[in-house]
Amino acid sequence: MDIPNFDLPSKILCVVIGVQLQVHDNTDEVFALITLIPLKQQEFMVENQDPLDDSPSEIYSFTRILNSTETSRHAAGLYIPNQHADRCLAMDMAVQPPMQNLVAKDLHGIEWNFRHIYCDHQRAHVLTSG
């Protein structure tokens, strides 16, 4: 079987016009669908000539290893270290008791409801099921 020859250059300058974050249903592998439009040969773009968003967003994340008491069915909730909760889960501390409902959507589109509570007597942030 012959492979067709399209006589294309080895590099084609393109503009990104769309990015969609996706997940494979069976493997949970994440990937991005990127839509490109090739520029004409005489066209070129100056960096940041037409940016989609001038202000880059800051992403802050943290990780921690859960212990067996935090994963048991009888756990009171998941304690979040204050420095991470203050940065990631800002809440109105004037509301008494300080709490907020959170909804997180996973890569499959399933919504997970949580309640974020600040326990003043323990000076701790706790996530519980909502």
CATH number where 123 lies? 2.40.330.10
Asked whether residue 101 carries a pLDDT value surpassing 90, the answer given is yes
| CB contact at 8 A, 115 and 125 | no
Residue 9 lies in a domain: no
> What confidence tier does 37 reach under pLDDT thresholds 50, 70, 90?
very high
Asked whether residue 42 carries a pLDDT value surpassing 90, the answer given is no
C-alpha neighbours within 13 Å on the C-beta side of residue 19: 7
Predicted pLDDT at 53 = 58
Mean pLDDT to the nearest integer, 104-130: 87
Which residue would you say has higher pLDDT here, 34 or 5?
A: 34
Distant-in-sequence, close-in-space partners of 36: CB < 8 Å, separation ≥ 6: 14, 15, 16, 17
Going by C-alpha positions, the residue among 123, 43, 28 that lies closest to residue 79 is: 123
Tally the domains of the chain.
1
Asked whether residue 54 carries a pLDDT value surpassing 60, the answer given is no
Distant-in-sequence, close-in-space partners of 81: CB < 8 Å, separation ≥ 6: 62, 64, 125
Query: Cis link prior to 97 (omega < 30° from 0)?
Result: yes
Residue 72 DSSP symbol: S
| CB contact at 8 A, 127 and 78 | yes
Residue 40 lies in a domain: no
Q: How many CB atoms lie within 10 A of CB 116?
A: 22
Full domain range(s) for residue 77: 68-129
Residue 120 lies in a domain: yes
Predicted pLDDT at 44 = 63
Predicted pLDDT at 60 = 84
Predicted pLDDT at 19 = 93
